[in-house]
Amino acid sequence: MGDTLDERKKRILKAIIKTYMETGEPVGSRTISKYTDLNVSSATIRNEMSDLTDLGYIIQPHTSAGRIPSDKGYRLYVDELMKEKEDEIEEIRNLMIEKTDKMEKVLKQVAKVLASNTNYATMISVPQYSGSRLKFIQLSRVNELQLVAVVVCEGNVIRNQIINLDEEMDDETILKLNLLLNTNLNGLPIQDINLGMIARLKEQAGIHSGVVATVLDAVAATIHVDEEDLEIYTSGATNIFKYPELSDKSKASELISTFEEKQQLAELVRERMSDTENTGVQVYIGEELPIQTMKDCSVVTATYELGQGMHGTIGIIGPKRMDYENVVDSLKTLKIELDEIFKKKLE
């Protein structure tokens, strides 16, 4: 995308974006000539800005002489111009760590620290399991007409499932079903348990196929995450009132509702977590977001990992003119700190 721009256009675009981040006002050519070392006239800058407008990187709001970045312009800034910034892992280290044994307190503290340091709204999801393998399944008798299936996955995630029987099952049959299930499923990634495998196991179980089906339902439930299961902590939602483009009464009300109800945030997190190839920092600008109420925002996210197939999402929500460099650095710092904190807690 950046191949269509020469170096001067890139520098002018960067100057427009940085100036707009600071002021929130449309940027004119005279302003750019004062704040850059381009050593070219306002007329030349005007021509370059005209080209950037034609290419869709900046837009002219209303009848103003100034320009503001478009989503395409922000995207180029994030993808191309921020490559100059080296990783600096230092700023928030001492602010974030609270000596606490509870993951919830650590995560809530992370959200607060991010909101305080960036002046934007923040969110963080409680870690979920993915890519888990089955460790073992144990069928045991509860009473004459009930069994309990204990399903244990990596990370010692445990799911208990009561199975109601039509008639009593003897110990030898229970033993055979345990052998059938564990021989075929131990060490297998849960995602690899497909319909063909389920059909084969049910066929081998014969008249007890219903028991096998119930156990496999319990296995699937072990990693199933729905809106009620996915817990998200937020902080700094009122920071959006600091930015005029987001403080319009109806827009602000919709955004606050999004933070309070959290269903749409959960959808964003699930979409983020499903992208296993991009676990670093990701930036979503305007229309790239799946949340209608956030079309005037940018969201920067990162994945933190706890090992054992557990990972969660950290996110920062602000205006499109957010300070991307500071936000990206903050997220990278916190991602590393979270990884270290939870690594120590899990040892």
User: What is the pLDDT at residue 223?
Assistant: 52
User: What is the pLDDT at residue 196?
Assistant: 81
pTM comes to 0.54
Q: CB under 8 Å, gap of 24 or more: what pairs does 154-160 form?
A: 154/129, 154/308, 154/309, 155/129, 155/308, 155/309, 155/310, 157/129, 157/132, 157/222, 157/223, 159/218, 159/219, 159/221, 159/222, 160/218
- Ranges under pLDDT 50 in the chain: 1-2, 85-101, 225-228, 346-347
User: What is the pLDDT at residue 121?
Assistant: 93
User: What is the pLDDT at residue 1?
Assistant: 45
User: What is the pLDDT at residue 28?
Assistant: 85
User: What confidence tens digit (pLDDT) does each residue in 56-103 have?
Assistant: 999 988 766 788 989 888 888 877 655 554 343 334 334 334 433 466
User: What is the pLDDT at residue 122?
Assistant: 93
